[in-house]
Structure 1
Amino acid sequence: MDRPAGPPTTVAAAEVTATKIYVNLAMADTADAVAAQDVDGVGLLRAEFMLTEALQNRHPRELIARGEQESMVSAMVDAVGGIAAAFAPRPVIYRTTDFRTNEFRGLEGGDAYEPEEHNPMIGFRGCYRYVKEPEVFALELAALARVREQNPNLHLMIPFVRTKWELEECLELIDASPLGKQRGLHRWVMAEVPSIAYWLPEYVGMGIDGVSIGSNDLTQLTLGVDRDSDICAELFDESDAAVLDAIGRIVSTARRLGITSSLCGQAPSTNPAFAEHLVRMGITSVSVNPDAAAAARRTVSAAERRLLLEAARS
């Protein structure tokens, strides 16, 4: 005997947002699973874990001294290439290595090459390191160039940019490399140092076409508080008016100059008010951890609907 038909099964429609929802990734082994989610690409591909594996826990200058750098390059091609292929044709924004000196010293042979700094968080790192150690940066660029031969959805992001002159020299290194000669490469910068709110127009004039706000470092440097300090934890607030003003200046400049703007961090998925503030500023994307992507899309979608309703009513 046939059973009476029950109520029709309903499938929740996917949220559609004008603001792109990207994910942060650090390892290749989760790429296929994350790429199957409702995400628009990788807004922050962190190099550090993949690089440590590629180096087999050795300092990169130690490998160069032994003539073994090709092993590192090949391993990075495999790891990064797997991620770029999994997400293709969606963009994958690779952030070049941002180890600090204390982290580099922890690698085998590191104590022979790394200085001891009292405050490595604001020391020899990011863009400035590439300019001073171009032979190490060249290995990373060579790996990315090989990946892009098969996966042109891979793009480049430079972290911890402090001044115009260091970025200018860094871009010259990129342009002179096999990677810089490839067509369609997007060049992004991280917005972690407050000086970018002043320098961004100059950076765009130099060929930068995307900016990603690293809210942790930007908050730390705007408020002058160590983000890792338990004693000062209550001072660390991404929603502080000074931090929001800095973010607003960066996003509005990006809009005016016609470049992509993004924010890397968990706040858009956990703090609806913060997400709505970003949407109202006109940010073009947010990048969150994979387990927060669905929540971020829902939060951003709700904020966009409120803006549309306000516009219709007015």
Structure 2
Amino acid sequence: MSIQIFGLSVSRGVAIGRAVRLGAGRLEVEHAFVTEADVPGELLRLRVARDEISAEITALRDDLPPDAPAELGALLEVHQMLLHDQVLIEAVKVWVRERHYNAEWALASQLDVLTQQFDEMDDPYLRERKMDLEQVVDRLVRRVRAGREVPPGAAPAPVDPVAAVQGAEPGEELILVAHDIGPADMMHFRRSVFRGFVTDVGGKTSHTAIVARSMDIPAVVGATEASALIRSDDLLVIDGDAGVVIVDPSPIVLEEYRYRQQHSRLDRDRLLRLRGTAAQTLDGVDISLHANIELPGDAATALAAGAAGIGLFRSEFLFMQRAGSLPGEEEQFQAYRSVCEAMGERPVTIRTIDIGADKPLERGSTDSRADRGLNPAMGLRAIRWSLAEPTMFLTQLRALLRASAHGRLRILVPMLMHVREALQVRQYLTQAQNELRAAGIPFDEAVPLGIMVEVPAAAIALDVLLPHADFVSIGTNDLIQYTLAVDRADEQVSDLYDPWHPAVLHLLQRTIALTHRAGKTASICGELAGDPQLTDLLLAMGLRQFSMHPSRLLPIKQQILRADCGKLEQALPDILSSSDPQATAQSLWRGATPLH
């Protein structure tokens, strides 16, 4: 029976595919397709792993001392039965043969199916056997994974996830369904086989939503109970425009969405024609469109999309998924240099590490205080964390300065709001410069240092901060969150997260105006920069530099090409003085045409 699950629209478009559930206590496995030629090797790994574990269980049972508890022997018998259970093993083989999943993924998928069946059992004893099943499958996954690490010739060659996905035979697209997906997980899935995301929790600017938009794939977050209602392998339709997930759609509905999916692809093809067009308004105002990136390799994507520079390189992603170890100076330098060299004469703005809030370091790092606070969003994060860790901060500053000799690098400081913080940053920057001079290492002596305006205090006190900054970048995601006291990742208050709120608009307009009056550049690197529904408003405020994910550059360029800054600016006073700015903007700029 077809059902609809409603959530928040965070990344537009249509995705159609089979569900892959990611439970809260999931097994950490590689999600990789294998080719038809690799199927026998995957099945062999599965059989070898099962036989080895079975032999170990038999040996343990035979070696039990006479006084061992009877329950222990019974437990081993249960594990042996589960290990050879045909419902488990044969179904896993089907996942491999028909879906071309690698063995670990096939095991995890079948475990998900069986655990749901256990949860629905009336008998408490049978329900508790779910834990035994999870233990058996976990051992199998670990053994299969270990089987990929044996010397060549002793077993089939390991699967390269990226190569496997690229070389896999065509099949149905897949949609990831989870309670939540953390930033580290999202980075892992960026190059995965998934073509859409559905989560129980999250808001429009939660990290899951941001990365889904950056991947330019449809996503719905805040779809409460989605992971409980959706089963593995259910056919799903994600309507990213309406924020709806349709489970097992009827043939008529499915055909309608396939048509919409094709129409969306045609629209994207038309946008590609704008790639070489200058971003200039109808009245001749030049606009600079920059790209936000997370990893050095993303620079190529930015260039392909026609970016005029990198407006935000989120350096913290170099520090994540490292099992507690931090990147050293040389590793950071190579990463920053590669981006500078890839961008040539185009400017590259690199933000110092912004750890904390929704991007904590993994437990076990050299200092995990950044994610220990009662309220991480307001605790030791961003520049506060860097200033509390001067050794780490100096290492990053030296790496950034060294890379500045290889391009037009600019350093951006996140969440700065006190003059004393600005002075401390300058002091550490001077120290890093002196250390490099003493070592005879070249760097840009005039490397620009900018501040991110992310909290209302910084926007209100900007006139006292500007003398200490060479440029300003507005982080609208946090600025809206802190101004409205709305957790941007909480779907329960997502309707209150409103970029059109008069307080937000006044802070944006004030920040842009004060920065320009000081003869410095202002840009926006938050999600607002990539939202075509707000482009006219930002142009009216005088914004001339936008930074967004590469996938948003062409839609924003299209909006800019249709705009007339002079006419837009004339309407700004009425919009800013309105109790309903969005409705006023609709009326003045687009007549009866809705913005949403």
Interval containing the TM-score (normalised by the shorter chain)? 0.7 to 0.9
Counterpart AA for 2:345: P
Corresponding letter in the other structure for 2:306: D
Partner of 1:155, secondary structure, is strand
Tell me if 1:249 matches 2:515.
Answer: no
- The Cα shift of 1:28 comes to 1.4
Q: Could you give the per-residue CA deviations for residues 84-142 of structure 1, whole angstroms, max 9, x where no partner exists?
A: 11112110100000101785452433567657211011110122222222111011011
For residues 218-297 of structure 1, the aligned pairs below 5 Å read: 218-272=479-533, 274-297=534-557
Residue 34 (structure 1) aligns with: 302
Task: Spell out, residue by residue over 1:164-201, the C-alpha distance to the aligned partner (whole angstroms, 9 max, x if none).
Answer: 21222122111221279732311111110111123222
The two structures, once aligned, show a CA RMSD in angstroms of 2.6
Shift of residue 299, structure 1, vs aligned partner = 1.2
Matched-pair contact (CA < 8 Å) for 2:291–2:309 = yes
- 2:3 alignment counterpart: none
Determine the structure 1 residue equivalent to 2:389: 133
Q: Give the aligned residue type for 1:191.
A: V
Q: 1:307 to 1:114 in 2, by over 3 A?
A: closer
Report the TM-score when normalising by structure 1: 0.83
Q: Distance in 2 between matches of 1:35 and 1:259?
A: 25
Q: 1:116 to 1:268 in 2, by over 3 A?
A: closer
Once the 2 structures are TM-superposed, how far is the Cα of residue 281 of structure 1 from its aligned partner?
Answer: 1.1
Distance, in Å, in 2 between the alignment partners of 1:278 and 1:291 is 19
Deviations 1:59-100 (A, max 9, x none): 44xxxxxxxxxx622211222211111112110100000101
Checking the alignment, whether the CA contact within 8 Å between 2:355 and 2:385 is kept in structure 1 is no
Instruction: Provide Cα deviations, 1:286-314, integer angstroms capped at 9, x if missing partner.
Output: 11111111111121232246649989xxx
Label 1:299 to 1:121 Cα distance change in 2 as closer, same or farther (>3 A). same
Structure 1 stretches of 5 or more lacking a match?
Answer: 1-10, 61-70
User: Alpha-carbon deviation of 1:262?
Assistant: 0.6
Partner of 1:201: 463
* Structure 1 contact 21–40 (Cα < 8 Å) conserved: yes
Is the radius of gyration larger for structure 1 or structure 2? 2
Asked if residue 108 in structure 1 is aligned to residue 364 in structure 2, the reply is yes
**Once the two structures are aligned, what percentage of the paired residues are identical?**
26
- Deviation readout 1:41-65 (Å, 9 max, x if unpaired): 0111001112336xx33244xxxxx
Paired residues of 2:454 and 2:474 also in contact (CA < 8 A) = yes
Summarize the alignment of residues 100-179 of structure 1 with structure 2, pairs less than 5 Å apart: 100=356, 103-104=359-360, 106-110=362-366, 116-151=372-407, 153-178=408-433
Alpha carbons 2:369, 2:380 under 8 Å: kept:
no
- Matches for 1:59-98 after TM superposition, within 5 Å: 59-60=325-326, 72-98=328-354
Q: Which has the higher contact order (CA 8 A, sep 6+)?
A: 1
Is the Cα contact below 8 Å between 1:130 and 1:170 reproduced in 2? Answer: no
Structure 2 unaligned spans of 5+ = 1-272, 281-285, 438-442, 572-596
1:172 partner letter: Q
**What TM-score comes out, normalization by structure 2 length?**
0.45
- For 2:503 and 2:413, locate their aligned partners in 1 and report how far apart those are by CA, in whole Å: 24
Tell me if structure 1 keeps the 8 A contact 2:355–2:361.
no
Contact 2:316–2:355 (8 Å) recurs in 1: yes
